């Protein structure tokens, strides 16, 4: 895997470790500090032992490195092909009119090579100029902390207007849609971008409504994982875009906490159960019950 959130961080973290080790031998505490600064909370479980135990033969036991020069990370041909493939995704237009192009290589894959299951078919119109314009304006408002005036159309075809303070954008992989999460609006702070008719920035001070923030409700599920058949790496990879924490309980057994949106709870149950007996839900109780109910339903369908 290249350029994924997980492995991209790993490469850059090890490069930072080697850069420091070229200057002086690293103590364990300093190594940990570099990993925590450049990678994820659970990365210390993988990177530190791999380097200190010389499984990745980049550091000696005394913390020095056999590498004489600081590492550089130029793009490889494979990485260029990957970037060119990503540039074919219509969602790239949401961020730039000039996606990266490397004329000397062919894309690693094309959209026609990918078949996606269990995804709704009414995706957002990523190539629509009005959608692109709204997306970029919203992204700019989030960065500048500027309030937005938004016109949306509901399922009945009625156009409504609301003013809110944008907090962040959220993408649903299953729905293939973006939604804006905001606050300070009595009509609610969750807006599907595909339903926006128009939007504009509201200059000047923004007066929040007295109601509480209308942010999505977040929940946390805790798992106990048995690291067989590379289960730890597969789970961390599968939930790479979620906020999470991992803790080693004993050799080969881990505790993982994953934070998710309440609206995605059914999808989370399905995704966790896909790992079979290597993963067990330990809390909260209502999530354990949801998993049990799902398994009972699956068993009844096979009878």
pLDDT tens, position by position, 21-42: 988 999 888 998 998 888 877 7
The CATH topology of domain 218-302 is: Alpha-Beta Plaits (3.30.70)
| Contact present, 165 and 141 (Cβ < 8 Å) | no
Confidence of residue 76 (pLDDT cuts 50, 70, 90): confident
Alpha-carbon distances of 55 from 47, 59, 108, 150, rounded to whole Å = 10, 9, 30, 54
Residue 118 has a pLDDT of: 60
Question: Which CATH code fits 129-202?
Answer: 2.30.30
Residue 241 has pLDDT above 80, yes or no: no
Mean pLDDT within 80-97:
92
pLDDT at residue 67 greater than cutoff 90: no
Q: What is the pLDDT of residues 97-139, one digit of tens each?
A: 998 889 999 999 998 888 776 666 788 999 999 999 999 999 9
Peptide bond into 284 cis (omega under 30): yes
Helix (H) or strand (E) holding 61: none
- Chain segment 244-265, per-residue pLDDT in tens: 888 889 999 999 999 988 877 8
pLDDT tens digits along 181-202: 888 776 667 889 999 999 999 8
Domain extent listing, the chain: 77-111, 129-202, 218-302
């Amino acid at each position: 895997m290249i350029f994924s959130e997980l492995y991209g961080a790993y490469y850059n973290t090890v490069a930072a470790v080697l850069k420091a080790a070229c200057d002086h031998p690293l103590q364990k505490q300093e190594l940990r500090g570099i990993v925590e600064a450049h990678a994820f909370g659970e990365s210390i479980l993988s990177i530190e032992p791999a380097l200190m135990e010389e499984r990745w033969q980049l550091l000696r036991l005394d913390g020095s490195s056999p590498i004489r020069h600081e590492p550089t990370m130029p793009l490889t041909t494979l990485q260029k092909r990957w970037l060119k493939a990503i540039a074919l995704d219509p969602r790239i237009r949401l961020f730039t009119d000039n996606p990266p192009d490397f004329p000397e290589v062919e894309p690693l894959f094309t959209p026609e090579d990918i078949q996606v299951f269990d995804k709704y078919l009414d995706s957002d119109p990523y190539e629509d100029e009005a959608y692109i314009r709204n997306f970029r304006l919203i992204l700019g408002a989030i960065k500048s902390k500027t309030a937005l005036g938004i016109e949306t159309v509901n399922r009945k075809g009625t156009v409504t207007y609301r003013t809110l303070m944008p907090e962040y954008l959220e993408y649903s992989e299953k729905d293939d849609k973006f939604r804006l999460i905001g606050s300070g609006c009595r009509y609610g702070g969750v807006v599907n971008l595909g339903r926006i008719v128009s939007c504009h920035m509201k200059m000047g001070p923004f007066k929040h409504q007295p109601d509480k923030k209308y942010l999505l409700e977040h929940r946390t599920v805790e798992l106990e994982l048995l690291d067989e058949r590379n289960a730890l790496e597969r789970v961390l990879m599968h939930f790479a875009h979620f906020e999470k924490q991992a803790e080693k309980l004993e050799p080969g057994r881990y505790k993982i906490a994953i934070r998710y949106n309440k609206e995605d709870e059914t999808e989370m149950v399905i995704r966790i159960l896909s790992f079979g007996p290597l993963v067990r839900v330990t809390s909260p109780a209502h999530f354990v019950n949801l998993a049990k109910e799902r398994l009972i339903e699956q068993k009844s369908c096979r009878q």
